[in-house]
Amino acid sequence: MSGEITDVLVMGGGATGQLAAAYLRMRFPQLKIAIVEGPHKNRPIVGESFVEITIDFLLELGLGSYLIEHHFPKYGLTYYFKTEIDRPEDRTYVVDETPTVPPLLSFQINRFTFDREVRRRNVESGVEMIDGSIDQIDLGSNRALHSLTVRDAEGREVTMQARWLVDATGRNRLLAKKLQLNDKVTLQKDVFWFRLANFNPEILGRISAVKKENRAFVPYFATHHFFGKGNWIWCIPMRAPDNSPFISIGITYRKDVYPHGQVRTIEQFLECVGREHEMIVELVRSGTVCDTNYYGSYMWECRQHYSADRWYIIGDAGNTVDPLYSVGMALSSVQIRQIAAMIQHELNGHDCREFTKDLDTAINSFHHSLTRDTTRLYECMGDAYQCHLRVHLIVTKLFHLGLPALMNDYLWDPLGTKLINRFADLATLERESKEFHDLIRRVAANPKNHAIENFIKVQSSDSMNYEFYEYHREEELPASLRRMLFGLARLRLDLLAALGWRGWTEFRQHRAVVRDLLRGLALLPFHSRKLRQNWLARRMFPLHQNMPAHEEAMPNAANSAPHSTNDWMPAKPMMRTQAAGSGSTAAREPLPDDN
């Protein structure tokens, strides 16, 4: 079996790897897709809250009916801000829920059943499952094949070759370690989590909640976030196979600012959390702990995720994310779509070098901006007033810029990616976020501003941009950005007013107000226009889609068979742990020797 070739080889059989294989199988049915799963062991599973962009990806995969039948709907993220954080017996929280039923679907996922289902569907659709561990990787360059040495469960070595290589090995980070791509993250976090069964769900409601009246949905079916000093706690209700109460609970804390010590056991969790949130301790003690998991110092960053030499790093194999906004699987789904776009770009006969670099820049900016902003948030999580304003900023930017751009394919489109990189570069995003945070910090320094009546609605129909999501059309993107900029200018003016006479001396903040207003006004000529079709955008960013340097161009259509040269000989099946069923292969066009 040595030397056999597959088209796309995914390293890692966890959820990210399985979803990558499923998507690429759907997009390119003529290509051979294989997964090296690694030893079948009990991996820690985390990430049960799937947000809108993740569900959009899963709907494209045809998982909509499955999600509705087997998992709970999610009515957004619910934030609990405690103004008296040093009084655990005080159960008064400023509770911020989504204002009504969200316009886009999201779900609370039982990852145990979900991960098994995705793998089952992959086997049925013909994705090859290779049971083994990877001993050696030799990366090809200039369109040369990648070569891997895989050791199977019986200790035999098998040499595999692949045209495209996807690293989804999670914490093993095979390619990042091999190529020394990881950057050190100094502000580290620990996370401890567990699943709880047979508990009393009513305990979650045993608080004194200061909130808007809600008649739109049952508040229990949300992802619950409780903030404390240097930490936050999640509670995610999930559907158990027998429909008994089942919930994921965890704490993430930044080690340098968390005052209550390390949390690695359920006893330490109860002791530390009990110093701030008495209700959560009561909830845990009402049920049965099913498992416990811990990651220490789990943050890392990767300098490069994609190469024009056809290797890609996705999910935790590249960057870890803070789970506060539930974007881990969302970012992985974006990366999977980006990889599909690069493969399609090459199949269409284009030179991928510039496109690959642009996509790498975009995903780095998206991840680093959000993760670093969240990391800085830990410094004020115990300050309810300051924390709620900073969460409001993130919500506003995600729902006016991030999600609309993703829903219109900007982060895997050649021109869309260039626009994102030009107008939302990492340095600008970080500088302007810190600028706003400085103003919030000054306002929060006055204890009078911490009165509950001074809290704003973190998640409102305005901050969550509901107006856009009725149709979520590309031509409405300029209006979405304009509403964001005007909204940020208005918030900044309100905060300057809260400073009193000192607000008149904040000249840097005044310039920022003018900057946001001018940016918003500059978008007026683009009202109801698709930015990617605008002549000015196309003139600013001419696309160079040259043919590859090699003599024979690759196939022009995704459904055509590979070229008949030796470099494009159809790949033959590798060893399988299970035989492939019919599944979705009915729509597949067989290759000449696709047996």
Which comes out higher in pLDDT, residue 572 or 436? 436
Q: What is the average pLDDT across 103-125? A: 96
Per-residue pLDDT at 23 exceeds 90: yes
Give me the pLDDT at residue 274, please: 97
Per-residue pLDDT at 581 exceeds 50: no
Nearest to 11 by CA among 179, 125, 146: 146
> Is the pTM above the cut of 0.85?
yes
Mean pLDDT over each residue of the chain, to the nearest integer: 89
Q: Does an H or E element contain 349, and which?
A: none
- Residue identified by tokens 């080690």 is 255
Per-residue pLDDT at 233 exceeds 50: yes
Per-residue pLDDT at 582 exceeds 90: no
Nearest to 220 by CA among 73, 396, 434: 73
**Residues 233, 280: contact at Cβ < 8 Å?**
yes
Rounded (5°) CA angle 492-493-496? 90
Per-residue pLDDT at 171 exceeds 50: yes
Share of the chain above pLDDT 70, in %: 90
Give me the pLDDT at residue 506, please: 95
Per-residue pLDDT at 116 exceeds 90: yes
Q: What is the pLDDT of residues 392-428, one digit of tens each?
A: 999 999 999 999 999 999 999 999 999 999 988 888 8
Per-residue pLDDT at 571 exceeds 70: no
When pLDDT is cut at 50, 70 and 90, the band that residue 545 belongs to is: low
Per-residue pLDDT at 584 exceeds 90: no
Q: What is the average pLDDT across 40-46? A: 74
Per-residue pLDDT at 583 exceeds 50: no
Which comes out higher in pLDDT, residue 35 or 142? 35
What is the DSSP code string of 352-413? -HHHHHHHHHHHHHHHHHHHHHHHHHGGGTT-HHHHHHHHHHHHHHIIIIIHHHHHTTGGGS
Per-residue pLDDT at 568 exceeds 60: no
What are 358's two structure tokens?
Answer: 């642009």
Distance of alpha carbon 203 from alpha carbon 282, whole angstroms: 7
Give me the pLDDT at residue 550, please: 39
Domains of the chain: 1-42+109-181+304-319+326-347+561-595 (3.50.50.60), 72-108+185-295 (3.30.9.100), 367-556 (no CATH)
Per-residue pLDDT at 104 exceeds 70: yes
Share of the chain above pLDDT 90, in %: 82
When pLDDT is cut at 50, 70 and 90, the band that residue 590 belongs to is: very low
Per-residue pLDDT at 380 exceeds 70: yes
Work out the angle between the directed axes of helices 384-397 and 426-444 (0-180°, nearest 10): 150
Residues in a beta bridge with 134: 150
Q: What is the average pLDDT across 478-501? A: 96
Q: What is the pLDDT of residues 240-251, one digit of tens each?
A: 988 889 999 999
Q: What is the pLDDT of residues 262-298, one digit of tens each?
A: 999 999 999 999 999 999 999 999 999 999 999 999 9
Nearest to 374 by CA among 422, 418, 320: 320
Give me the pLDDT at residue 308, please: 96
What are 29's two structure tokens?
Answer: 């049915």
Length of the chain: 595
What are 391's two structure tokens?
Answer: 């969460």
When pLDDT is cut at 50, 70 and 90, the band that residue 41 belongs to is: low
Q: What is the average pLDDT across 348-356? A: 94
Return the amino acid letter for 502: R
Nearest-10 Cα torsion for 11, 182, 429, 341: -30
Per-residue pLDDT at 76 exceeds 50: yes
What is the DSSP code string of 143-179? TPPEEEEEEETTS-EEEEEEEEEEE--GGG-HHHHHT
Q: What is the average pLDDT across 537-556? A: 57
Contacts (Cβ under 8 Å, ≥6 apart) of 450: 83, 384, 385, 444
Per-residue pLDDT at 205 exceeds 60: yes
Nearest-10 Cα torsion for 390, 391, 395, 396: -20
Q: What is the pLDDT of residues 359-375, one digit of tens each?
A: 999 999 999 999 999 99
Q: Does an H or E element contain 74, and which?
A: none
Give me the pLDDT at residue 43, please: 74
